[in-house]
Structure 1
Amino acid sequence: MFAFSASLRCNELRLTSLLVLLTSALLSALGTLIALRLGRRLGLVDTPGGRRQHTGPVPRIGGLGLFAGFFGVAVWLYLFGPLKPEHRLPIAGLLIGTVFVFLFGLADDRYEFKAAPQFAAQIIAALIAITATVWIEEVTLPVFGFQKFPWFVTYPLTTLWIVGMMNTVNFLDGLDGLAAGVGGIAALLFGAHMMFKVDQPQIALYALAFAGACLGFLPFNFSPARIFLGSAGAMVVGFGLAALSILAPARVATALLVMAVPIADTAWQIVDRWRRGQSPFRGDRGHLHFRLVDLGWPPGRTVLMYWAFCAAFGALSLLTDSRLWKLISFLILIAAVGGLLAALSAKNTTPPNEPDSK
């Protein structure tokens, strides 16, 4: 289906990008239809209660469809696409890590592991990425300029980024369409940045394949959801975003802006749970999206607001090259979300100890 040359001309690049996006979306949709039947047949469903707002059993293996859409196209690109030799090992790490987190997530959807095995799997996923040189080795900071890290900084920093992103997406997966939509928006912005800002169209195609997989799954997951991402889907989205944000220069800054609201929410919840003597990995209704719903916001409107913030601040990273303005924007968002959560916590607008449906 795809025919590539060493140097992609503009029209060829546009056509290829569109084909990648649409093909991954189609595969994701077909895989999700299969997952719908398979989830019901195997009894892999979420029942109402806890954080979940649905009224009946809903299959929770939507990650199968999303994985099929991304992995199918990504493997094709790896085998037949335009990939520079120096990118082959990192992309292999992306693919192997995605397979690992997907398989572990499926097992988690079946057996519902505790927090410790989940955290161990996230560490292993980070080690897979690091082994394949998917790491944060250098950054360019406002004021301080270009910084190249030694290995004893690179390895922990990369692990923290990947584990943090996977937990952020996991916590984000509480309202229908929220995590998949944010993941799709982020991947689209990553692809646009790689293609037009840093001239890495070969890597951009993998981001577009990831975006297409999220978008193909989304119609089945938006409110009222017919299927949930489940642990497999959330882990694939989290690991995929973390790895893709590392694979080309300046992507981490874009990811920070796109994910600023979820990252701030996650950081607040971890600190707040530690303060209350609870596990930071324990699910509850203290997250911002749940608090807004408990205040009377319709779930669909809350999800759309998240999408709008992620898209707007992600677009800002495309429109400005100023690292200082990116940093200021990120800090403003972090402060705003933190202040809002502090105010809501002071008013005790939601029962923070209500457990996850799992």
Structure 2
Amino acid sequence: MVFLAVLFFAALLSWSLTPVAARVGHRLGLVDRPGGRRRHQGVIPRTGGLALFGSFFVTVLLTVLLPHVLPPAWAEWFPPRHDPNEGRRLLALLAGSLFCVVAGFVDDRVEFSSGPQYVIQAVAGVIAIAGLIFIKHVNNPFGQGFLFGPDGFPWWIVWPLTLFWFMAMMNTINWLDGLNGLATGVTAILCLVLAVHMIFAVQPPQLSVALLPLALLGAALGFLPHNFAPARIFMGSSGSYFLGFAVAALGIIGGARLATVMLVLGLPALDVAWLIVSRWRRGLSPGQGGRDHLHFRLLDLGFSERAIVMGYWAFCAFFGLLTLVLDDRLYKLVALLALGALALAVLVWASRTDRQEQRT
């Protein structure tokens, strides 16, 4: 009962806050106008991240406070928290999310270059590590236990690995935010997979932690009707930074579900890697904007925006479903490799087809 309540409350709050965020964007001049790589129609505010963060923050805060103020019979609806460090991780999640949405809001106003953006991502990762959100263990895909034994990674690996994870996820969501509803929908799919995994697929179930992806799922679903084509509002850097940080953190808080996150976000993440290598080879800065993202290539090849977005959603949902039905670690590794091969094939095809179109 409480899971559905959290989901619907976050969705309703996000849906209600989004028009308010749009008015803030118009009033402050934080809007996108057509031109360059932006091919939308009209003047669109880019302050949707405020609604996404606000609904998530308020919903999560209520799940923490209500069990202490409601009558005992009602407080029992909320799952108990057994991990003594869960409160500290929750504080780091909210603090890091607040930092990201504020930094993204400033970025939307002054439009940082790639350097300051990387610094923001690194600081967000440090906030997470300070709150005990770090990658200490990774399951051994070829047997039982963890890589590096029961003690996990040494600290000289934990810090750079965790920082890389946060920066990679924040860049993935940021670069994915190019078509209406694309990043929002993919985030919603990942949150649904994480929540189902925490509630039904692990023993013992992670019921209290499952409230977090459900809150983010509700925030994304409430925002999506305003953000889907034709969009009336964009999430902006405040939204993409926040969603990227939250996705990275939830993948760790949920028991290091890194393979789950990578299976859902495999195509967008591989697109980021592809772009970095491609731009380096052409002598360009990896962090500069451009229409060489896969979703832009597909759009320029004549596919409709809605078809591309729904295709991404279907791709991510299919591999997310695989994480729920595959129990064996080796099978998940095989699925991850298959995802990489399939995504790489799509990238190669789109790149070659795009070059052929340009020559004709």
Q: Tell me, yes or no, whether TM beats 0.5.
A: yes
**Residues 20/247 of structure 1: CA separation in 2 closer, same or farther (3 Å cut):** same
CA distance in 1, matches of 2:187, 2:88: 24
The yes-or-no answer on 1:308 pairing with 2:314 is yes
8 Å CA contact retained: 1:285, 1:351 = no
Which residue of structure 2 aligns with residue 98 of structure 1?
A: 97
2:346 to 329, 335, 340: 340
Letter in 1 for 2:207: P
Task: List aligned pairs for 1:1-358, cutoff 5 A.
Answer: 15-81=1-67, 82-84=80-82, 85-143=84-142, 145=144, 146-147=146-147, 148-198=152-202, 199-349=205-355
**Residues 343/301 of structure 1: CA separation in 2 closer, same or farther (3 Å cut):** closer
8 Å CA contact retained: 1:97, 1:129 = yes
Letter in 2 for 1:221: N
CA distance in 2, matches of 1:163, 1:78: 28
SS where residue 296 of structure 2 aligns? helix
* 1:280-304 CA distance string (max 9 Å, x none): 1112111111111111110001100
Residue 213 of structure 1 and its aligned partner are, at CA, apart by 0.4
Residue 241 of structure 1 and its aligned partner are, at CA, apart by 0.4
**Residues 315/250 of structure 1: CA separation in 2 closer, same or farther (3 Å cut):** farther
CA distance in 2, matches of 1:154, 1:79: 32
Counting matched residue pairs gives: 338
Bigger shift: residues 140-149 or 232-241: 140-149
TM-score, normalised via structure 2 length = 0.91
8 Å CA contact retained: 1:291, 1:349 = no
Which residue of structure 2 aligns with residue 9 of structure 1?
A: none
CA distance in 1, matches of 2:52, 2:276: 28
* 1:262-315 CA distance string (max 9 Å, x none): 011111011111111111111211111111111111000110011111111111
8 Å CA contact retained: 2:47, 2:236 = yes
* Matched-pair identity in %: 48
CA distance in 2, matches of 1:341, 1:256: 17
SS where residue 85 of structure 2 aligns? helix
Letter in 1 for 2:234: F
CA distance in 2, matches of 1:250, 1:325: 17
CA distance in 2, matches of 1:20, 1:76: 9
Task: Give me the CA root mean square deviation.
Answer: 1.6
* 1:323-358 CA distance string (max 9 Å, x none): 222111221221222233223323444999xxxxxx
TM-score, normalised via structure 1 length = 0.91
Bigger shift: residues 234-243 or 137-146: 137-146
Can you give the 5+ residue segments of structure 2 that lack an aligned partner in the other structure?
68-79
* 1:73-117 CA distance string (max 9 Å, x none): 111123345333221111111110000001001111111111111
Letter in 2 for 1:141: N
SS where residue 264 of structure 1 aligns? helix
Can you give the 5+ residue segments of structure 1 that lack an aligned partner in the other structure?
1-14, 353-358
**Residues 150/350 of structure 1: CA separation in 2 closer, same or farther (3 Å cut):** farther
8 Å CA contact retained: 1:24, 1:69 = yes
**Residues 100/350 of structure 1: CA separation in 2 closer, same or farther (3 Å cut):** farther
CA distance in 2, matches of 1:240, 1:349: 36
Residue 250 of structure 1 and its aligned partner are, at CA, apart by 4.5
Divergent runs of 4+, >3 A: 346-352
SS where residue 53 of structure 1 aligns? coil
8 Å CA contact retained: 2:294, 2:347 = yes
Bigger shift: residues 125-134 or 243-252: 243-252
8 Å CA contact retained: 1:294, 1:350 = no
Residue 168 of structure 1 and its aligned partner are, at CA, apart by 0.3
SS where residue 139 of structure 2 aligns? strand
CA distance in 2, matches of 1:165, 1:51: 23
Letter in 2 for 1:83: R
CA distance in 1, matches of 2:256, 2:240: 24
CA distance in 2, matches of 1:104, 1:21: 27
Residue 248 of structure 1 and its aligned partner are, at CA, apart by 2.0
Which residue of structure 2 aligns with residue 355 of structure 1?
A: none
CA distance in 2, matches of 1:100, 1:317: 31
SS where residue 138 of structure 1 aligns? coil
